[in-house]
């Protein structure tokens, strides 16, 4: 809506008819609308602008004054690695219909966006998401960041050459899943102009919103809860979890795959989320946290934490405590 307004193309009657809400109601920052309605708004934006690449172009606009809560958390973290972990953890505040996951190889950091249902994929919205992620990171953190490569779920559109120019690396279309990779060396980039006070205050508010949010009960969330409970007792075992769900391991894998996830993905996500909270809370010693998360020794946990956040857990804890003083 704001992007259309800046172009002088905001069509109040069509937007209010489509959403069933007034423009004034739609400007409420805490309002949540159905994903299908959100995606229909993108279709309307393409019609009103006559621009098939409207999402890609809107995503390149960086306006700090219109940044949401998650953006303020992201750009007030200590490093890009910590920011990415928070972005993944808080992503369902932005869009509950798409799962975001993060993995790291020795050389690359890879973000993956997977809709929970084929009807919840929107080319314009995915364009905007990808462009905004990279352009905001360049603006606030490091101008030299480029994608090593980009895989885009949808077929190549007529404006396909714009992706290569914007993202820098090779782009492959029609992959059925959207993934963006960049050098893992960037994870250690400190975030300039970060404000520990703003970070602490906004994070508390975001966590409160996240706790109140009534999300759709999905199978993967049930498995996440089981993984979380089992994590400190023994090695995470898919067969045991499958029995608790009254199904075979193969059925467990198949149901998770329908939501665009693997069992390994969920275990990693739970570990990352718990690690971030435990280390920041200062309730447990680092050795205890390693045990609670199922690591055999502290050194293995430290290596994993540095891979996730770009810094050692002791450094992360010290930085977080400084921000809360």
The pLDDT-based confidence of 213 (bands split at 50, 70, 90) is: low
Select from 147, 170, 194 the last residue of a domain. Answer: 194
Same domain, 186 and 214: no
pLDDT higher than 90, residue 148:
yes
- Answer with the one of 194, 224, 251 that is the final residue of a domain: 194
- Sheet arrangement for strand 171-173: 98-104, 108-115, 178-183, 149-152, 171-173
For the chain, give the percent of residues with pLDDT over 90.
45
Question: How many other C-beta atoms can be found within 10 angstroms of the C-beta atom of residue 153?
Answer: 18
Does residue 104 lie in a domain region?
yes
Residue 130 sits in the same domain as residue 226: no
203 domain residue, yes or no:
no
117 and 248, same domain (yes or no): no
Give the 3-state DSSP-derived string for 106-154, with helices as H, strands as E and coil as C. CCEEEEEEEECCHHHCCHHHHHHHHHHHHHHHHHHCCCCCCCCEEEECC
Write out the DSSP string of 58-108.
Answer: HHT---GGG--HHHHHHTTSSBHHHHHHHHHHTHHHH-TTEEEEEEE-SSE
Task: Examine the domain organization and report whether 139 and 251 are in the same domain.
Answer: no
pLDDT tens figures, 76-90: 999 999 999 999 988
> For the chain, what is the domain count?
2
| Residue 144 and residue 133 in contact, taking contact as beta carbons nearer than 8 Å | no
Output the pTM of the full model: 0.67
Asked whether residue 72 falls in the same domain as residue 160, the answer is yes
Give per-residue pLDDT as tens, 253-302: 988 887 767 888 888 878 887 887 788 777 889 999 998 888 888 999 99
Residue with the larger pLDDT of the pair 225 and 173? 173
Regarding whether 170 and 309 lie in a shared domain, the answer is no
Residues 295 and 152 in one domain: no
Q: Please state, in angstroms and rounded to a whole number, the distance separating the CA atoms of residues 244 and 191.
A: 43
pLDDT digits (tens, 9 = 90+) for 187-211: 999 999 889 898 989 988 888 887 7
Q: How large is the average pLDDT for residues 11-34? A: 89
Q: CATH number of the domain at 110, please.
A: 3.90.1520
In a shared domain, residues 218 and 187: no
Evaluate whether residue 174 is within a structural domain: yes
Q: Which of 305, 281, 303 is nearest to 82 (CA)?
A: 305
Same domain, 155 and 237: no
Q: How confident is the model at residue 320 (pLDDT cuts 50, 70, 90)?
A: low
Q: Are residues 34 and 183 in the same domain?
A: yes
Strands 171-173 and 149-152: parallel
> What are the CB-based long-range contacts (under 8 Å, 24+) for 174-178?
175/151, 177/112, 177/113, 177/114, 177/151, 177/153, 177/260, 178/112, 178/113, 178/114, 178/126, 178/130, 178/151, 178/152, 178/153
Could you list the residue range(s) of the whole structural domain that residue 110 is in? 1-194
Residue 293 belongs to domain with CATH number: 1.10.10.60
- Do 268 and 233 share a domain, yes or no? yes
């Amino acid at each position: 809506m704001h992007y259309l307004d800046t172009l002088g193309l905001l069509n109040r009657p069509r937007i209010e008819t489509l959403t069933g809400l007034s423009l004034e109601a739609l400007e409420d920052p805490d309002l949540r609308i159905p994903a299908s309605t959100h995606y229909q708004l993108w279709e309307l934006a393409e019609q009103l602008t006559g621009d098939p690449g409207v999402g890609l172009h809107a995503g390149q606009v960086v306006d700090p004054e219109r940044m949401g809560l998650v953006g303020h958390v992201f750009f007030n973290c200590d490093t890009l690695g910590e920011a990415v972990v928070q972005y993944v953890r808080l992503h369902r505040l932005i869009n509950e219909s798409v799962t975001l996951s993060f993995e790291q190889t020795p050389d690359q950091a890879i973000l993956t966006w997977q809709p929970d249902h084929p009807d919840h994929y929107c080319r314009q919205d995915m364009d905007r998401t990808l462009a905004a992620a990279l352009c905001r990171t360049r603006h606030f953190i490091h101008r030299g960041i480029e994608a090593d490569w980009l895989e885009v779920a949808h077929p190549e559109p007529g404006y396909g050459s714009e992706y290569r120019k914007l993202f820098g690396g090779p782009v492959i279309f029609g992959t059925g899943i959207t993934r963006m990779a960049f050098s893992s060396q960037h994870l250690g980039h400190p975030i300039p102009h970060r404000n520990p006070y703003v970070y602490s205050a906004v994070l508390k508010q975001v966590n409160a919103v996240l706790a109140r949010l009534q999300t759709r009960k999905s199978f993967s969330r049930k498995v996440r809860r089981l993984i979380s409970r089992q994590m400190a007792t023994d090695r995470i075992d898919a067969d045991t979890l499958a029995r608790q769900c009254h199904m075979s391991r193969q059925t467990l894998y198949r149901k998770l795959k329908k939501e665009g996830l693997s069992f390994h993905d969920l275990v990693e996500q739970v570990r990352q989320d718990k690690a971030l909270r435990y280390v920041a809370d200062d309730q447990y010693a680092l050795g205890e946290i390693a045990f609670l998360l199922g690591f055999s020794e502290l050194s293995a946990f430290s290596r994993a934490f540095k891979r996730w956040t770009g810094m050692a857990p002791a450094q992360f804890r010290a930085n977080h405590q400084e921000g809360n003083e």
